Amino acid sequence: MSSREVVILSVGGVRFVTRASTLQQFPESRLARMLNDDDREFKLVNGEFFVDRDGALFSYIMDFLRTLQVSLPTDFSDYQGLQREAEFYGLYPLADLLSQEHLLKPRLEILEVRFSLQEMQAFFRIFGSCSTTIEALAERITVFTGQQSGQGWSSPFLPQKPLVPLPLERPSHHDMVFLCGTEYSAGDQFVARYVSIKPDNRKLINGTNVLGLLLDTLLKDGFRLISTRTAVSEEKVECYTFERMKRAAGLTITVNQTPGSSGVAQARRSQVQKGK
């Protein structure tokens, strides 16, 4: 059978269409031997290979053969079942990865927003259990500064002079600090700080509005608000705690054909960072 030919499989009543070359990624697997009529477990019926196995789990087998990556949904739980299927098909590199369940399971990610109002300024501090999430969020938040004349912190009007972006304070890889509002400078001059959070293009000076936009941004990013509390009652520091399941890093298998291996695929593990 040519590697360019289309192969149809019916696994537990679920139909899959793929190329022979995809099934031959691991030459010693049962799927590769199936193409040579070398495995009685696979019955050829009306041009389709039939096998009485779990069709839902086989979809992950096919995804692995097409990408050489193990990338499972955050709600996936049947690791032992999928490992059993991988062993049945003779895909032992995949079975080996699945046996290391801790590498594949999504992890709970915690993020905390602290917010306080002091006179005409609002202070924000964001803590996160995942430093890459904090880094990505810091790239979306910009603080601009400029001077105003005789305007309060709730004024919607921007100063006439161009605003200057300020770097966020990063006490550590796991948190950031910024503020918005106005503070007295000299005479009737005020130093104003505006906050912008991408993809929203507005520059907000009112702390309550910035807080609303920040919380909405986190909810859209897949976080779930699990608690609100007053962290420091004297300073009226409000604390908002979020959580979400962070997808595990994808695991990639690199197939190497080595001399003298009779075409046996050699597998090597490496981690590839997926979406956050």
Q: How confident is the model at residue 228 (pLDDT cuts 50, 70, 90)?
A: very high
Q: What pLDDT sits at residue 275? A: 37
Task: Please give the mean pLDDT across all residues of the chain.
Answer: 82
Size (the chain), residues: 276
For the cut 60, the answer to whether the pLDDT of residue 238 exceeds it is yes
Percent of the chain exceeding pLDDT 70 equals 78
Cβ contact 8:48 at 8 Å: yes
Residue ranges of the chain assigned to CATH 3.30.710.10: 6-103
Q: What pLDDT sits at residue 163? A: 87
The identity of residue 250, as a single letter, is G
Cβ contact 276:140 at 8 Å: no
Considering the domain 6-103 in this protein, what is its CATH number? 3.30.710.10
Q: Quote the CA–CA distance of 77 and 55 in Å, as a whole number.
A: 16
Q: Quote the CA–CA distance of 153 and 227 in Å, as a whole number.
A: 29
Q: Quote the CA–CA distance of 36 and 29 in Å, as a whole number.
A: 12
Please state, as a whole number, how many other Cβ atoms lie within 10 Å of the Cβ of residue 169.
Answer: 12
Instruction: Give the pair of three-digit tokens for residue 263.
Output: 């075409």
Q: How confident is the model at residue 270 (pLDDT cuts 50, 70, 90)?
A: very low
Give the mean pLDDT of 92-109.
80
Q: What pLDDT sits at residue 254? A: 54
Q: How confident is the model at residue 109 (pLDDT cuts 50, 70, 90)?
A: very high
Residue that has been written with the tokens 């962290």 in this structure: 231
| Spatial strand order in the sheet of 265-272 | 69-70, 250-257, 265-272
Give the mean pLDDT of 25-52.
87
Give the mean pLDDT of 235-260.
67
Give the mean pLDDT of 247-271.
45
Please give the model's pTM, rounded to 2 decimal places: 0.59
Q: What pLDDT sits at residue 190? A: 78
Q: What pLDDT sits at residue 262? A: 36
Residue 47's Cβ-count burial label (10 Å; 0-12, 13-18, 19+) is exposed
Q: What pLDDT sits at residue 1? A: 43
Q: Quote the CA–CA distance of 96 and 113 in Å, as a whole number.
A: 40
Residue 183's Cβ-count burial label (10 Å; 0-12, 13-18, 19+) is middle
The least confident of 97-106, 196-205, 214-223 is 97-106
The least confident of 32-46, 166-180, 245-259 is 245-259
Give the strand pairing for 48-51 and 6-11. parallel
Q: What pLDDT sits at residue 159? A: 53
**Max intra-chain CA distance, the chain:** 91
Residue 222's Cβ-count burial label (10 Å; 0-12, 13-18, 19+) is middle
